[in-house]
Amino acid sequence: MSDVVIRVENLSKRYRLGGIGARSLADDVSRMWARMKGAEDPLLKIGAKNDRLQLASKGHVWVLDKLSFDIHRGEVVGIIGKNGAGKSTLLKILSRVTGPTAGEVKIKGRIASLLEVGTGFHPELTGRENVFLNGAIMGMSKNEIRKKFDEILDFSGIGGYIDTPVKRYSSGMYVRLAFAVAAYLEPEILIIDEVLAVGDAEFQKKALGKMESVSKNEGRTVLFVSHSMSAVQALCSRCIMLEQGKVALDGLPRPVVDHYLNGGLGESVFGTVGADYPRNQYHPGMLRIRAVDLLGSDGNRIETLRYHERMRVRITLDVEKPLNDVIVALTAGNELEENILFASSADRRNDPPLVLQTGEQVIEMEINQQLQPGSYFTGIMLWDKNGYPYDALRRFGRFFVEDFGDNDRYYRWKSRIGMVNPDTTVKLLT
């Protein structure tokens, strides 16, 4: 492949735990002694895993552990993972702030990194002076900056404050100016750490839009670390999930993000509702949801639906008092806790309320779901006629909607856009 612009091969990075001081001199001496004898570095033992929860007291940790992947020209790659998974270390190595302990990175083309906006901004200098200084630190020449200065100023929206020392700026203005310089960097490869977390909503949108146009229109490669899953899904064409210094998953953003979010939330399965499961009851002592099950066409319990398969949900209730105004509703929400689907027993104008007797009652809902492939959480609500809950469960069972198959090229774009995918007929009318 000739269009590989970054090749990471067995990249490893080790950090020392605890203080660096008197002990390091002893380490250095033992290492030098070993090297003189021609032996291996005694402290370089691959194996101690990077897991914050069970760190070996060995004194060293592998933050990156034999990482390998290729990045191609024009890709926008999102890098996600928990705190401490090695994301920032990877970016630091790629941007040459620190070196690897083992392995290699090969880079083709000019690379610029944005691990922080406004690196080297000096509080006493004016905005204008800082633009030139910061630009030069980022590797732009004076002429380049001069040519783009008006655009930078315009993009930042700083206006008349440009000749005021930046120590007088509000933090928002500071970030705007700093990001504006970065936005006009024109490297072939751009590396961005979580830098968009500051600035107001309008500016964030502008910044994300700029990143998108940089990659789409100008064919540049962007590497982007973020905890904002919606930004990763919106911007990236590929997503790499790191876990304990290794590539846990690499692929299209949507499935990788889904996987990442599921991993973080723990299991949530259909079946009997646990005794301590949080409920929302406005009229306590009237009814309780005992169990919720997702059923397949043969009546068995399932967790995965085929694309466009009808959804059958069975809700088992313990009713304490007879009720005659019950409405049952179900939501399906995505990992970002946005509700995508809502279905209820009162969707049509004249739908009558349910009348429930005391004792066990079983309700079955059948829903013509048209969700995009992905993973969803259900919410179950039983309301009175005014919408006050008798009992409600948020984010109870998790189910999946299967995709069309990995080899289908069709899937590659289809599953990325939108959340509902209704049955559609297309006719050519000439």
Partner 1 sequence: MSNEPQDEKWTLVLAPRRGWFDLRLGEIWRYRELILLFVRRDFIASFKQTILGPLWFFVQPVLTTIIFTIVFGGLAGLAPDGPPKALFYLTGIVSWGYFAECLTKTAGTFVTNASIFGKVYFPRIVLPVSVVISGLMRFLVQFVLLLGVWIYYLATDAAFQPRYELLALIPVLLLISAGLGLGFGIIISSVTTKYRDLQQLVGFGVQLLMYLSPVIFPMAKLSEKWQHVIMLNPMSAVIEYMRAAFLGTTGENPMYLLYSAGFMLVLLFGGLLLFNRVERTFIDTV
Applying CB under 8 A, the residues found at the interface with partner 1 are 2, 4, 7, 9, 15-16, 20-21, 24-25, 92-111, 113, 115-116, 119-120, 122, 124-125, 129, 132-133, 136-139, 141-142, 165
Closest distance to partner 1 from the beta carbon of 121 (Å): 10
Q: List Cα–Cα distances, 271 to 6, 9, 67, 314, 376, in angstroms.
A: 47, 45, 40, 10, 16
C-beta of 7 vs 416, nearer to partner 1: 7
- For partner 1, the closer of residues 162 and 239 by Cβ is 162
* C-beta separation of 180 from 156 below 8 A: yes
User: Cβ 203 to partner 1, closest distance in Å?
Assistant: 21
Nearer to partner 1, 120 or 353 (CB): 120
Give the helix/strand (H/E) hosting 414.
Answer: helix 409-414
Cβ partners under 8 Å of residue 63, min gap 6: 13, 14, 15, 50, 84, 86, 89, 245
User: Smaller CB distance to partner 1: residue 141 or 213?
Assistant: 141
The closest alpha carbon to 353, from 323, 394, 398, 392, belongs to 323
CA atoms 172, 177, 182, 184: torsion sign? positive
Residues β-bridged to residue 292: 271, 315
CB of 329 to partner 1, least distance (A): 50
Q: How far is the CB of 197 from partner 1 (least distance, A)?
A: 16
Could you give the C-alpha distances from 34 to 15, 31, 37, 43, 102, in angstroms and in order?
20, 5, 5, 10, 18
**Least distance between partner 1 and beta carbon 307 (Å):** 38
Alpha-carbon span 245 to 87, nearest angstrom: 8
**Residue 40 or 200: which CB sits closer to partner 1?**
40
Q: Shortest distance, CB of residue 6 to partner 1, whole angstroms?
A: 10
Instruction: Give 407's strand partners.
Output: none
Output the six-digit token pair for 421. 């995918």
- Pick the closer one to partner 1 by CB: 78 or 187: 187
Helix 171-183 vs helix 127-137: angle between axes, to the nearest 10 degrees? 40
Nearer to partner 1, 18 or 422 (CB): 18
Q: State the nearest-atom distance from the C-beta of 93 to partner 1, in Å.
A: 7
